[in-house]
Amino acid sequence: MKRVISVLGSTGSIGRQTLEVARELGLPVAALAARSSLELLERQTREFHPKLVVLYEMEAALELARRISDLPVRVAYGMEGLTEAAALEEADTVVTAMVGMVGLRPTLAAIRKGKRIALANKETLVCAGELVMEEARRWGAEIVPVDSEHSAIFQCLQGCRDRREVRRLILTCSGGPFFGKSYQELEYMKRKDALQHPNWSMGAKITIDSATLMNKGLELIEAMRLYHMPPEQIQIVIHRQSIIHSLVEYWDGAVLAQMGTPDMKLPIRYALTYPERSQSAAAPLDLLSCPPLTFAPPDPEAFPCLALAMDCARTGGTSCAVLNGANEAAVGLFLREKIGFNDIPRLVKKALDQVEVKWNPSLADILEADQRARCVVTA
């Protein structure tokens, strides 16, 4: 079955790779949405002929509307536009590739239309995972992860008829650009050092999260929500080569791994074709030319973000939303070179200390926790 897709965050790293896959598979595109990248969104619109395009920023949207007035396409802006793109009738699959909490409301809108969510916006599941998964169950919306580790687990779970057969999920972690460094050494790391990821090419926010290991902490929470596993049954293992994308261990001792060259187009492609597999033009993994595969434990002292995320995973309630909101704000400050590298965990810790946790949170509680966390960081 050929899916009709809408891509939210189409000008970012995952969004651009999604459109490459759409081009290869010949998938029709119903809607495209981006924050502010006017020129690229115009090019994408001219190539993929969506019915609706959205720029989050109004000024940019007005300029886009002027530029593409020769095309039969509607232009919208703001959260309203984003939500409309997510719910658009014509698409059966929505790729949520925007960065951060801004993805939450559009993701819920797509779920309530029963669409397949190709989920690349991990912050949504981190902040409001229980709510999102419950809504997905209620509306019969499939959530297929695009995050490479979660896609690996999803693939290793195919054929598993009873989740109680799973003993552990094992998330692999490249270790990022600062693997092996001490907390003291990390104090002096700059934006340019942190933006050099060894294996994956990704957007700026997630690359910083990979350097602090917050990314793996967020992924632990994401895995808990997606697979209904307690944090005690999720292990994080440093695997520098990024060949094994994650593993599932069953109670009989069998461990299934999903392997491949580090290429985000594979999990994107699988999320768009699942349960089928399509042919890819990418070079296959050559085991004989692979470097030796190594494994090591993470260092929570050098990378306190990981320990903070694990605490929030156990605490639950709105703590994960505070963690995520504080981290988004702190990473923003680091990218603008306003704070140092180790200020990221310091500020996240400060927010977690100051914003009280609410249990069984509503959407409003989650949004409020997110806002309060950001205020603590930027104060």
Residues that bind Mg ion (CB under 5 A): 147-149
How far from the centroid of its chain's Cα atoms is residue 317's Cα? Answer: 20
User: Shortest gap between Cβ of 172 and Mg ion (angstroms)?
Assistant: 9
Output 215 or 342, the one with its CB closest to Mg ion.
215
User: Shortest gap between Cβ of 237 and Mg ion (angstroms)?
Assistant: 14
Encoding tokens for residue 113? 């239309």
Instruction: Give the count of beta carbons closer than 10 Å to the beta carbon of residue 254.
Output: 10
User: Shortest gap between Cβ of 363 and Mg ion (angstroms)?
Assistant: 25
Output 10 or 148, the one with its CB closest to Mg ion.
148
User: Shortest gap between Cβ of 210 and Mg ion (angstroms)?
Assistant: 8
How far is residue 136's CA from residue 116's CA, in Å, rounded to a whole number? 9
Output 149 or 370, the one with its CB closest to Mg ion.
149
Output 328 or 365, the one with its CB closest to Mg ion.
328
How far is residue 355's CA from residue 369's CA, in Å, rounded to a whole number? 7
What does residue 146 show for φ and ψ, rounded to 5 degrees?
A: -105, -25
- Report the relative pairing of strands 166-173 and 234-238 from DSSP bridges: parallel
How far is residue 221's CA from residue 239's CA, in Å, rounded to a whole number? 19
How far is residue 177's CA from residue 303's CA, in Å, rounded to a whole number? 12
User: Shortest gap between Cβ of 93 and Mg ion (angstroms)?
Assistant: 20
Contact of 258 with 152, CB cutoff 8 Å: yes
User: Shortest gap between Cβ of 213 and Mg ion (angstroms)?
Assistant: 12
Contact of 101 with 370, CB cutoff 8 Å: yes
Output 197 or 374, the one with its CB closest to Mg ion.
197
Output 202 or 302, the one with its CB closest to Mg ion.
202
